[in-house]
Amino acid sequence: MSQVMTRAEATGAIASHKIQPRHRERRAVVYVRQSTVQQVKRHQESTRIQYGLKDFAVRLGWPSDQVEVIDEDLGVSGASSEGRSGFQRLLADLALDRVGLILGVEMSRLARSCKDWYQLLELCSVFGTLIGDLDGLYDPAQYNDRLLLGLKGTMSEAELHVLKQRLEQGRLAKARRGELGRPVPIGYVRRPSGEVALDPDEEVRAVVRRIFSEYERIGTAYGVVRSFANKDLRVGVRMASGPNKGELEWRRLNRQTLVKLLKNPTYAGAYVYGRRVTDPRRRKAGRRGTGRVVAAREDWIACVKDRLPAYISWEDYERNVAQLKAHRSVASEPGAPRKGAALLAGRVFCGRCGTRLTTRYAKRSSPRYECRREQNDYGGATCQGLAARVVDAEVSRLALQALAPSALEVSLRVGEDLERARAEKDADWRRRLERARYTAERAERQYHAVEPENRLVARTLETAWEKQLRAQRRLEEEYQRASREQPRMLTADERAAICALADDLPALWNAPTTTVTDRKAILRLIVERVVVTVEGETEWMEMHIHWAGGRQTYRRVRRPVRHTRQLAGFAELRERLRTLKDEALDAPEIAKRLNAEGWRRPREGACFTGRVVRRLLSLTGLAPARRRGDRSELGPDEWWLPDLARELERKVDTVYKWVYRGRVRARQLYGRGRRWVLTVGADELEYLRTRPPRTHVQNGPGGVS
């Protein structure tokens, strides 16, 4: 350090003519910076040299109290001015004309970015501030000094780029070999030698395997989280930092942890690097760790399979990732099976434009599948729509037929799965009991290890021991209760019930215990997509069912429609009505003939009645329709109820309320729909038009004729 100061003194003697009284009137600033905290700890000699520049400033003529040391940026990189509060304060003091000299051991201490460096030079040039390092004093206002300082700043930035490039290339080469150290996920540990191994704790490994088996069985992330919560299962997480680093901490499973675990290829035994990259456009100022985005699989820098110990196979990992992607709530994916009544939501496609049909739920009607591409994209009408229950019923019927030959095999598989699930549950209980016994015995050993006379410590250890004993006893009682309620092996009655249900799949399918979510999950396993095409506006539609495995089934199915004129055979029905009408048959007789001949109404299972036939005859022009507003049956000051509503510009329901509440005189006719006739004079009509009555009127509907 003395040699360095001797060199600085010689430099100051040569360039002392640049120091003017106006410089000494302001403060001298010594800027101290190291790039990382590790450099601050290990390279302390460089830090001492930088602090020693304060004495050098005193020798140049500045009073000791006028020399300020800015060391707020120790451990902060100089690649940018962001996050360097000391450098920002230095620029602020320069702009306020408070600094006459800036000292640093080299220019890289001040800035490694030309943007920040030239900003500093410009301020020094404007306010006449000198810059000094171990090589000399510089005046940025002079051309030669400005040129030299610019070259030093460029070399400093280039040096940083070279260092980064060397480190990055070494890191990438090590990552492509699968040797670059990365944080290990839950269920793994890193040995002192650097090797990654499975967690030595048996319960931790069992819980991780349980997560993958539960996801394979349930199929949704939320279902796995709910299953773990109901069974009170915890996940063992080893602390990555802090005083308890490396110790196990048992936490509840949450959805974020589960999704990260399912998407992590480490569990398939693959070493992957570059799954997350930093996008500088998304990085926000003042926040560390932002701007990271998930890279596509083809953009991964390294993917070395069979490099690490695995919990699942690579095929299982790809299936889990694909299933998570399919369960996203976006228009391009079918989404996870939910509680809605439509069984094929997300699996039905339009046969006209190929768009996935949306599912619409109304409060008082059954769900519908609708294609709204034309309406949403071009403002047109709905492409096509149909009731969901028709498609669901047909696909369910075909699915049950396909599953019928394997019913016995399914029943045996169900029995094996139930026994395996119960065995896994029993193993979970035993591991929890074993850990509880170990914790209690450890607390006991700690209590016996203390001196009996040291009651201050003994009482604390005794309390901890009693707490662990109570927890162990409570856990044993819960295990005994669970074993009594659900034995490990299936009983004979349970096996018989499973076989009986397998013999009658439709009964099992329609059983109250089979939820809509269960039916959806089963159909999604065997049905890939259903393409439907409605034949115009008729009751017929075509279905192309694409089954898992590549097979297809074609069906032409009848669907319910709203109006009789939508029926495909409406022209033939009209001719048949004309023939029966020409035979001088009345409406009830015509209805009996149509029902006997097998004619259908739009609503499934509905028969023709006399009233329906009269409407059809009026609709087809085979019988004269009753003209609206026909007053031949009315007396003076009498109105048909709909005519009075139109005259008063009121809703029909409002006038009905007046009638039923006795506010308007009315009578009801027998036959022909029991129509209401209201008696309203001219004065009363004017009163109703301006102000509806609020008091009862005599001779209301109570006196119906």
Cα 116 to the center of its chain, rounded Å: 42
Nearest in space to 32 (alpha carbons), one of 124, 106, 126, 112: 106
Strand, helix or coil for residue 528:
strand
Pairwise CA distance, residues 629 & 642, whole Å: 9
Pairwise CA distance, residues 225 & 696, whole Å: 63
Q: Which uninterrupted H or E stretch holds 541?
A: strand 540-547
Partners of 302 in the β-ladder: 273
Nearest in space to 59 (alpha carbons), one of 103, 94, 114: 103
Strand, helix or coil for residue 343:
coil
CA torsion angle 379 381 387 392 (round to 10): -60
| Encoded tokens for 347 | 């699996």
Nearest in space to 237 (alpha carbons), one of 210, 208, 264: 208
Q: Active-site residues: which are they?
A: 35
In DSSP notation, 178-192 reads: T-S-----TTEEE-T
Pairwise CA distance, residues 183 & 484, whole Å: 43
Pairwise CA distance, residues 667 & 699, whole Å: 9
The 10 Å CB-count burial string (b at 16+, else e) for 112-144 is bbeebbbebbebbbebbbbbbbbebbbbbeeee
Nearest in space to 100 (alpha carbons), one of 119, 123, 70, 84: 123
- DSSP tag of 242: S
* Alpha carbon separation from 701 to 162, 645, 658, 665, 705 (Å, rounded): 99, 17, 10, 7, 9
